[in-house]
Chains A and B, each alone.
Chain A
Amino acid sequence: MNRLTSLCMLALCAVAFAAPARANLKVFTCEPEWGALLDELGGDKLDVDVATSALQDVHVIEAKPSLIAKVRRADLVVCTGADLEVGWLPQLVRQSGNPKIASGDGSFMAADQITTLEKPAQLDRANGDVHPGGNPHFQMDPRRVLAVAKALSARLAKLDDANAATYAQRLADFSARWNAAIPRWEAKAAPLKDRNVVVHHNSWIYLTTWLGMHEIGSLEPKPGVPPTSAHLATLVDTTRSQHALAIIRAAYQDPKPADWLAERTGVPALTLPFTVGGDAQSKDLFSFYDSTIDKLLGAIK
C-alpha cells in the first residue's frame, strides 16, 4: 500500500512538473478582436485559444466541453467583460477547476480597463438584455482598443516576466502604428460625419460616436429581443424620412430583417465585420477597421 501511495505521489509530481520550464504563456480569449490584439502584443511568445468566431453571437455561446478543456490549461483569460459572456464564461471557469484564471491576474476583463457607454440608469429586463456594466461592444472604438492594449501588455509582462521587454517593445510598435492609423481613419471617414444609420442590435454606439454618426433606430425592439415584423414596420418611415445611409448588421446576425427593411425603403443593408474575421478583408485589427470604414463609405452614392 505504501509503495502504491508513493508511486501515485511520484506520478502526480511528474504530471505537475512535466511541463517544460519555458513554455509559452497560454491565453484563452473569448472574442476574435482580443485574439488579434494578443497577436499584436505577444506574437510567438503566446499560445492563444480564441473561443468564438466572428460568425457567432458571443452573447449566447454554449459552455461547450471543448472550451472547458481550453480554459483548463490557460494561464490567462482575456474577455470583454461587462456581462457580455455572463451566460457561459462563469460556467467554463467553474467547470475547468483552474484556480489561475478564476480571479486575480489570470483574469483580464477589457471592460474593466476603460469607461463604457450606455451604462443603464435603471436595471430592468423589461428593457431587454441590458448590461449593468454598460455597452460591451467597444472593440469598435480604436481609442478604447489602445487603452485595453496598454493594460493587456502590462498584464502579459506581469505574468511572463522573462518576455517583459518583448511585450513592451511590441506595445510600442503597435501603439505607434495604431496612433498613426487613427487620424488616417478619421480623415477617411470624414464624409460619414452626421450621417444616420439604422442598426440591427445596439452594437455600434462606439463606432457611431467615434465617427460622429447618428443611430436613428434599431431592428431589435429591445436589446437582445429578435426583430418582429410589427416593430420593423414602424422603422420604415424613420429610415426613409431621415435619409439613413445604411441599415447595418454584424456578420453573425440574421440578414432577413435588415433585407426586409432595405427592400421597403431603398436604403442599403450593410453587413459589417464587427470583429476580426467578420469578412474576407478583416485579417487583423487594422484591416478590420479599414474594411468597416470602406464598407460604410461604399454606401454613400
Chain B
Amino acid sequence: MRAFVLAACAAVVSPALPAAAPTPSATLQQQLQALEARVAALEANDRRLREQADAANAAAKAAQDELAALKASTAAAVAAEPVPAASPAAVSGSSANAFNPAISVILNGSYSSHSKNPDDYVRAGFPVVGEGGPSPRGFSLGESELSLAANIDEKFYGQLTLSAESENGEDHVGVEEAFVDTTALPQGFNLRLGRFFSDIGYLNSHHTHTDNFFDRPLPYQAFLGSQYGDDGAQLRWLAPTDFYLEFGSEIFRGANFPSGGAEHSGAGVKTLFAHAGGDVGTENSWLAGVSMLKSSAKGADDGFSGDSTLYIADATWKWAPQGNFKDGGVTVRGEYFSDHRDGTWNPPVDDGTPLAWRGARRGAYLEGVYRFNRTWDLGYRVDKLWADRHGPFASDFDPYRNTLELSWHNSEFSLLRLQFSRDEPDANTTDNALTLQYQVSLGAHGAHKF
C-alpha cells in the first residue's frame, strides 16, 4: 500500500519536474529513446506470446474436437450393439426374502362314486394297509402338498414336502419328505439323508401328482401301502457311460409299511436298485430297472413280524413324434413285484396266537397312455395280484382291476381327470368306481423326472 502511494506521488510530481528544472534535454532524449526501445521490445514479446497462446488454443481446440469425435464414435458403437451384459444389480440382495427357497403347492381333490362301500372293502389274500385301499365315497381332499426346496450352500441341496390330506373327516398334516442331497461329491456319487421316498421301482420315488392315473396300481397298494418312504440314507452312483446307468442303495429306519417296529436298532430296511435308460433314435426313450427291498419287521401294519424281501422289475417306454413328448405320443409302463415272507402273523386281537407266515405273493401292472396333444390324454391300465395259496392270507382268488382314464390339461399347471375302474378284489365282489379329480400346481415351476 505504501509503495503504491509513493509511486502515485512520484507520478504526480515527476511531470512537473522538467518544467520546474530546465535540465539538459540530451540525456532525457536518450532515456526516452531507451524507454521506447524497451516498449517496442516488450510489445514484440507480447505479440509473440499471443501468437504462441493462439497456437496453443488452436491445438487444444483440435484436441477437444478429436475427443468429441471419439466420444461420438464410441456412442455410435454402443448404439450399434445395444446388448450390455446383464447388470448383477438385477438381483437385489438387500431383501431378507431374496434367499427364500422355491415354494410350490400341489392342490388335489376328487369326487368318487363306488358301487361297493369302501368301508367294507376286503381284498382276497392281501390285507388293506394304510392308503392301499379304495378312495372314499363322495368329495374328498386328496394329497395336497407344500414343497420348499433350495440349494443350502455349494455342497448341499435341501427339500421339505408337507402333505395335507383328509381321512375319514380328519385332517392330517405330515412331513412327507425332508431330505438333504449332496451336490458336490465327485465321480457321479450322490448322498441323500433324511426322510424320503425310496428309489425302488419306477413309481415309488415319484410324487403321486406326476402319475397318469388317480390312484396307484394294485401292487403298489398291496406291497408298499401305495408308496414307501421312511427316514434313512441313500447313496447313488451314476456310471460314466454313454447310456444312463445308475446304481444305488438305501438304509431306512424300518418304521413304515412294509416294514415296522424299526428293527436292527432303527435300520430295519435295506434296498438295492439299478436303473438303465437311453434313447432309440430321436422319438423313443426307455428306462428300466431292478430293485430289492429287504425288511426286518416287528408288528408291521399287516400284522407281519419277521424277514421279508420284495423284488421289483420296472420298464418304461415313451414314444413321441420328433421327441415332443408333451405334444403327443405313447407311454407304456409295466412293473412286476414279487414279495417273499418268512416270519409270523399276529392276529389283531391281543391274545391271538401267532401263525407262521412263509410264502410268496406277486403283483404286476401294465399301463398305456396315449397323448393326443398338449391338452388331452387317454390311458388304460391293467393290474393284478397273485395271492398265496397257503398261510394266514391264503386265497384261491387273485384280485385284478381294469382302469380307464381321460385327462384334460389346461396348462402345464392344471388338469382335470375322469377315471373309471372296475375292481374285482375277491371272487364275489366287484367295485365299479367313477372318479373326477382336479390337480393343480402353483408357485415355483417344478422340473419332473422322466
Size category of the binding interface on chain B: 35 or more
Return the CB mask of B179-197 against A: 1 if under 8 Å, else 0: 0010111111110000000
The interface stretch among A53-61, A160-168, A192-200, A281-289 is A53-61
Known: A66-B244, A97-B190. A89 touches B413 (CB 8 A): no
Chain B residues near A16: list those with CB within 8 A.
Answer: 186-187
Q: In the complex the two chains form, is A91's CB within 8 Å of B448's CB? A: yes
Chain A residues near B277: list those with CB within 8 A.
Answer: 64-66, 68-69
Chain A residues near B287: list those with CB within 8 A.
Answer: 65
Size category of the binding interface on chain A: 35 or more
Alpha-carbon separation in the docked complex, A225 to B322 (Å): 20
Q: In the complex the two chains form, is A225's CB within 8 Å of B411's CB? A: yes
Smallest beta-carbon distance A120→chain B, Å: 13
Q: In the complex the two chains form, is B86's CB within 8 Å of A68's CB? A: no
Chain A residues near B327: list those with CB within 8 A.
Answer: 57, 60, 254
Nearest A residue (CB) for B80: A143
The interface stretch among A33-41, A98-106, A264-272 is A98-106
Q: In the complex the two chains form, is A69's CB within 8 Å of B86's CB? A: no
B75, CB-defined interface residue at 8 Å? no
Q: In the complex the two chains form, is B322's CB within 8 Å of A63's CB? A: no
B384, CB-defined interface residue at 8 Å? no
Alpha-carbon separation in the docked complex, A97 to B411 (Å): 30
The interface stretch among B112-120, B138-146, B234-242 is B234-242
Nearest A residue (CB) for B326: A60
Of B151, B236, B285, B446, which contacts A65 at CB under 8 A? B285
* Interface positions of B from 156 to 213, Cβ below 8 Å from A: 157, 181, 183-190
Chain B residues near A116: list those with CB within 8 A.
Answer: 86
Of B86, B185, B188, B242, which contacts A115 at CB under 8 A? B86
Known: A56-B323, A57-B326, A102-B184. A91 touches B449 (CB 8 A): yes
Nearest A residue (CB) for B81: A143
Q: In the complex the two chains form, is A226's CB within 8 Å of B374's CB? A: yes
B154, CB-defined interface residue at 8 Å? yes
Q: In the complex the two chains form, is B373's CB within 8 Å of A147's CB? A: no
* Interface positions of A from 189 to 226, Cβ below 8 Å from B: 224-226
Q: In the complex the two chains form, is B85's CB within 8 Å of A114's CB? A: yes
Alpha-carbon separation in the docked complex, A28 to B83 (Å): 25
Smallest beta-carbon distance A205→chain B, Å: 14
Chain A residues near B183: list those with CB within 8 A.
Answer: 94, 97, 99, 102
Of B278, B285, B446, which contacts A62 at CB under 8 A? B285
Smallest beta-carbon distance B99→chain A, Å: 15
Known: A114-B86, A225-B411. A96 touches B238 (CB 8 A): yes
Q: In the complex the two chains form, is B83's CB within 8 Å of A114's CB? A: yes
Smallest beta-carbon distance B241→chain A, Å: 6
Pick the most buried of A15, A65, A86, A144: most chain B CB atoms within 10 A of its CB. Answer: A65
Pick the most buried of A52, A63, A66, A103: most chain B CB atoms within 10 A of its CB. Answer: A66
Alpha-carbon separation in the docked complex, A224 to B326 (Å): 12
Nearest B residue (CB) for A111: B86
Q: In the complex the two chains form, is A62's CB within 8 Å of B243's CB? A: no
A-B contact pairs, 5 of them (CB 8 A): A64-B285, A87-B448, A91-B448, A141-B83, A147-B81
List of 8 A-B pairs having minimum Cβ-Cβ separation, nearest first: A65-B277, A65-B244, A91-B447, A60-B326, A97-B190, A55-B322, A147-B83, A99-B184
Footprint of A on B, CB under 8 Å? 80-86, 151, 154, 157, 181, 183-190, 236-238, 240-245, 275-279, 282, 285-287, 318, 322-327, 373-375, 411-413, 442, 445-450
Footprint of B on A, CB under 8 Å? 12, 15-16, 52-53, 55-57, 60-66, 68-69, 72-73, 83, 86-91, 94-99, 102-103, 111-116, 125, 129, 141, 143-144, 146-147, 151, 224-226, 252, 254
Beyond A52-B323, A97-B185, 11 extra complex contacts between A and B, CB < 8 Å? A53-B323, A62-B326, A65-B278, A88-B447, A94-B157, A95-B238, A99-B183, A99-B184, A125-B413, A143-B82, A226-B374
